[in-house]
Chains A and B, each alone.
Chain A
């Protein structure tokens, strides 16, 4: 029989039981759409995250308080929400000394964050107050739209000056210049010395424009009442020097903190490379998780297909008997039912593909990353559906092909 005729025959058989075919397809539809979404979104998210991280520069490392298990990959205590008080301004100053760390270019500091409420033109604004040193702005690739920020001297004397995020500035002053004005944060009035360029968010969730940056010493003394840091950022001369600098910083801090056993480190050093590694690890785990869901869905869907094909073979026993009596060989019958199973999964795969692409497009729009359809996202699901069609269609098809025509012809 011609290929076209076979396909027409198979489609006819599926069309006769439209509702049943459609319900059978659901598992495949969900599975394939999950696969497509994973592949299509995964790439977009990865590009997006890598881009964000690389904007910080590849010659930068961060030191956070508290040790971390599992060398460079496990989360340090500070990230897990535990306050660790082992990192100080003196530590940062020691790192900044070229005699200790020859490759150092600049060192930035940051305190813990705290919250305040200020009165804007259209009501109250929740502000996150962050104590930093001047180098923090350049280390974080933040540029000034107005003014130029505060100086090392402001840090030294714990001056009451502030740099505003763009959103905050706009809500308080509109288009008018803000530098030179004063705002009240908690109980003190601060002189505005700079406004940051707009833009910037932490993965699209936290708006950096609502931050108010004050000297790190001011934050420690007037707001937090502590003398430890939450982060020290270090820029070194170049990307290749980062591992050498890491070792220098590590030795310096161990010496300063009287630690000999690396297991007892009370700080964690992270480079961009670590961050990339971590992100890839997280992405990998997430992808694996979604892939597992997709695989289970495909498996269930595939078993559904096998089930419905077995039902179909039983229902059409007489038809099979007749075809064999009239000269169909085993492989004709096998081909007929296998083709039916493959077409069934292929239709499911197609529906799932459309659904998955739409899903990936929607998440890309919502997440703000570029929608990108790769060859893998098209070929892999297609290959998978054909594969599943064959795997789950072959058993019913073999059953059909082996029917004894005498028995089959008399089947009621």
Chain B
């Protein structure tokens, strides 16, 4: 497949009408991006890639795994990474490469010369590059998904200090076993670190509770108790209260309060703090 003269022909073909090709290419690629990138930005990107591609083609190599295409591959990886981060769809990303094919076909058709062999070679080469882009695109997507699930696990379980000796964990969203486990460990660690004797688990933001989650909550409370701290559960929604009773889950002697405010007041009392309203502001 490596035929230096042919390689030069293809490179020459592209180089000869570079400006026209790039303009048409950018036009085709831009139409699918629906204005999420400016045309100038796209023009800069594609122009850079075009130059690198023509350089690689002029070496005569037609295998994108060759060293000659190293720069082109890096550029494509960068391109697909930014596209994936910006939330472009796979086909919107790949079309950036495939649009060049159409631009070249149109050029050859218009010229009427029979660049048939070059076209076939270029076509399969661009297919390979397109696939390369796509592969990298999906890899980046997977990275993003993994990152996000990790962040979710870490960020959504803060342990906050409400008062000297009173900690709270406001839970938001869906609770599953893995998350409840993280909550449990974080809360218990925080109890040891801060020496707080009162903890509040607030589940106002929790939309659903099943037997497993309830079980985990109970375990957390029991574990805290074993360590010498007291745990209050607050913010049970009406539907959740019905579910808990319907499922026959026994909360036993665990203190539950309707709102976080009630739980805080309870915790303060247990910690020996009195909250007193001032009778007169101007005293």
> Are A and B subunits of one complex?
no
